[in-house]
Homo-oligomer: A and B are copies of this chain.
Amino acid sequence: MQLIVAIIKPFKLDDVKEAVKDLGVQGLTVSDVQGFGRQRGHTEVYRGAEYTVDFVPKVRIEILADDGDVERVVSKLLEVARTGKIGDGKVWTVPIGDAWRIRTGESGPDAL
C-alpha cells in the first residue's frame, strides 16, 4: 500500500474528488495549506505600507491506495488538477508500513 499526496489549487478540489471517486477510491483526507514556489504570492497594502506575502493558498490531499491502484490514481490526479499555469502543484507517493480501519480494526488493503 502507498500514500498518495497531492498539493493542488483550491478551486480544483471538487473536480479531483469526483474524478478519484469514479476510479473507485473509497475515501481521502484534505487540509488547507500554504504553498511557496515559482508561483509568486501577492502584495498587500495597509495605510501606504506594502507587505509581500509569498505564500499562496493550496489544498493538500492524502489518499491511501493499494499498490495496484496507485498508478491509475496518480495519472488521473495529474490530468484533472492541471490548469497549465504556474502553481498547479505537486504529487508524490510514500510507501506505507501498514494501515488499519479504526472502526473494525481491519488492516492491510481491507482497511481502505
Contacts and interface: CB of A to CB of B under 8 A. Distances in A.
Interface of A: 1-3, 6-8, 17, 26-38, 54-55, 58, 60, 64, 70, 74, 77-78, 81-103, 105, 111
Given A31-B33, A78-B102, A78-B105, 7 more contacts: A8-B102, A30-B36, A64-B90, A82-B105, A89-B102, A91-B100, A93-B98
A8 to B, nearest CB: 7
Contacts of A95: 94-95, 97
A94 B90 CA distance: 16
Contacts of A3: 92, 94
Given A17-B36, A26-B37, A29-B60, A93 B96 contact: yes
